[in-house]
Structure 1
């Protein structure tokens, strides 16, 4: 998602004499402004905002225009750096960059400055969308390389690769393999063929590095579930289901949620967007009576086996909430990237919980929902951010809310 904040004037329009460049045209050199949500930096060309990938604040770059379909802004890639920022490093991956693999969009950024850029984005989104002045830091969580335990590859020309940014073009893996993959790329033998060229073109290859072992498959996996461990509990997870992809994500986020909620035995709690019951399990182990809601039926089936002391319901959170108890002490929200939304926030606040933990993978959705929470009488006491996705623009946050 491209967010048109971060210094963008919502009234910006093309001047009378401005012409729209063709997609693929190179413009500039352009001075690069602040980082924006989504990993882009803000530049301007002919009075129009251009969100530029692969650039850094303070640089002067030539930009290849990649998209002019938006009314208020264009998109582009920095293809030549005329004046590099001091935080720019040689790319950490030989296939990252313009036209390359779409994964590591911060491969050109010094690791410490990656966290600074993420901090700026979190702070800007919180201030602009929720009116919250945030002065926190983005905590480093090791490992910062080889952390991604769930990988998807494509086969092209007898080689494994990954898709270019917003494209179906397959970029072959470098000889050293993927910088962020937790395990080596699958071999032909693991995939049951003599040579990768024997696989159908464009077939998707999935790889999981789970606590219970490595699973590699195309099509239907040989096993239905894998086992992951967090907070001292084993969790059964559907092979194609959701689990945090950094090996320390689950423990890091559970620790933040437990510290913030300070659960007490005998309390009631909701785990909304509960997946396979990660937070429900951790809270149930502290003596909290838990209800979980998740739209993925396979995940709910696993959650019921993982946390037998809790009650789980399959369905959309906004629809199922009305069927849960009308009072609760604690709530955990761990929504998808789109966030929980106004209706869910209002229904949660109506239960008057003494504390809410909101786990967010998108700072813009978090900020928007914190504004809804404020209108419903809840304010964050703390907002922490974690760098669980090294070499990318992504950042995870945990907000702890209490009645205002």
Structure 2
């Protein structure tokens, strides 16, 4: 979940501000503009606006530059007041600081956010998969009118003064934060920004949909004495607290429990500390419904759930195929695999494998009726796609959090004669440029 942050080039800081006319949206939360013949990817803008920008990456020999809006000279009618001052680029510029990342579309009206995501998704399909397809980005059932309060997981840094902080986009800078409007209320009620976090480098907070209190994971700074983490934990009320070793994934309990209970369609799941789970409070329900409707698993089917996590999809697939069927679950994280084994306890038809997906497919000798992919943002890749095609399943379901990697992988399937059947795109990340999709792919004979 943590992205490496590049150091802003010194030459970028020397470039004077510029006035630009903003063009179309681009993948990644940017809009395209031009400055003296050079492409500039601008954040916190809207199509058609006239803005003043500050360059954040502007190497003379670079093929494109990056910039943030610091003043709007001619505003789009789709612009609105940002719901989170810390992420508001205009307020940040006026205060002489940089906006934190994580809500780069907060200045855009929600319907327009979804239209922009539609444009980007369709452009990626056309450019990378050679597919023209009408797309409709749909809100999750039960979404709030303002698109806030949906994050059940939130990760924070800690600045040198021991304050809760976040990073601006592609920066090592730390900005102290107070409240996070995108997070569910239970995370904000922890009031982590009011605690002295000296000796801690990172704080992760998560809330489960099932019974139990929130879980806070503390990552101590190098050399911090264990007693310091215990002192921080004592200041956190109404939550379980544990220490996370990011290198090993090991979680050491301080108080409460080290896992969360999630509940989806009447089924309970256990997710340990740093284990992956869908972030939006309504995402598990929406995606499980899309997967079951798309794959239509039946009793006796043989199904592979690849990049399976803690078993969000594996559990309902195992129930659907029953004791006469078989489900192969493949996940790379050892801790998450342990969760999957707990969540699939008693389901003898489920084979749970820890390791690389390509290696697991190479060792799996049974035929497959259906395959489900839920890869990380980088996608599945050519080798895995070719392995799946060689198994000749009747259908493939693809859950994706990145339209570019999905479109690239879809292109591999299409060049082998496969077709895109069902496609649904969900707005699981309001006020950001991110989206989630489910696609059903069919082989040439279908």
Q: Same fold (TM over 0.5)?
A: yes
Shift of 1:163: 1.8
Alignment partner, residue 224 of structure 1: 258
CA distance in 1, matches of 2:330, 2:187: 35
**2:54 matches 1:64:** yes
Alignment partner, residue 135 of structure 1: 134
CA distance in 1, matches of 2:62, 2:173: 27
More helix by share: 2
Alignment partner, residue 105 of structure 1: 104
Deviation per CA, 1:27-62, whole angstroms, max 9, x where unpaired?
432111100000000001111110000001111111
Shift of 1:401: 0.4
Instruction: Decide which of 403, 411, 414 is 1:371's aligned counterpart.
Output: 411
**2:84 matches 1:80:** no
CA distance in 2, matches of 1:385, 1:332: 16
Matches within 5 A, 1:255-274: 255-274=289-308
CA distance in 2, matches of 1:173, 1:240: 22
CA distance in 2, matches of 1:122, 1:392: 14
SS in 2 for 1:218: strand
Instruction: Decide which of 190, 198, 210 is 1:200's aligned counterpart.
Output: 198
**2:89 matches 1:49:** no
Instruction: Decide which of 165, 168, 171 is 1:164's aligned counterpart.
Output: 168
**2:120 matches 1:121:** yes
Shift of 1:21: 7.2
CA distance in 2, matches of 1:261, 1:28: 51
**2:149 matches 1:146:** yes
Shift of 1:85: 0.7
Matches within 5 A, 1:4-403: 22-23=12-13, 25-69=15-59, 71-98=62-89, 99-141=98-140, 142-143=143-144, 144-156=147-159, 157-174=161-178, 177-182=179-184, 183-185=186-188, 187=190, 196-197=195-196, 199-200=197-198, 203-210=201-208, 211-213=210-212, 214-219=214-219, 220=243, 222=253, 223-287=257-321, 288-308=325-345, 309=347, 310-403=350-443
Q: Larger deviation: 128-137 or 224-233? A: 224-233
Structure 1 portions without partners, runs of 5+: 1-19
Shift of 1:326: 4.5
Deviation per CA, 1:348-379, whole angstroms, max 9, x where unpaired?
01111101100000000000000001122321
CA distance in 2, matches of 1:180, 1:268: 39
SS in 2 for 1:169: coil
CA distance in 2, matches of 1:23, 1:44: 18
CA distance in 1, matches of 2:170, 2:365: 43
Shift of 1:105: 0.4
CA distance in 1, matches of 2:169, 2:200: 16
CA distance in 1, matches of 2:199, 2:33: 39
Deviation per CA, 1:134-160, whole angstroms, max 9, x where unpaired?
212100121421111111123333532
Q: Check conservation: 2:162, 2:198, Cα contact below 8 A.
A: no
CA distance in 2, matches of 1:137, 1:226: 33
Shift of 1:187: 4.5
Structure 2 portions without partners, runs of 5+: 1-9, 90-97, 220-242, 244-251
Q: CA RMSD in A?
A: 2.0
CA distance in 2, matches of 1:296, 1:53: 34
TM-score (norm 1): 0.89
CA distance in 2, matches of 1:72, 1:61: 22
Q: Check conservation: 1:186, 1:207, Cα contact below 8 A.
A: no
Pairs aligned (count) = 378
Shift of 1:68: 2.4
Shift of 1:67: 0.7
CA distance in 1, matches of 2:40, 2:413: 33
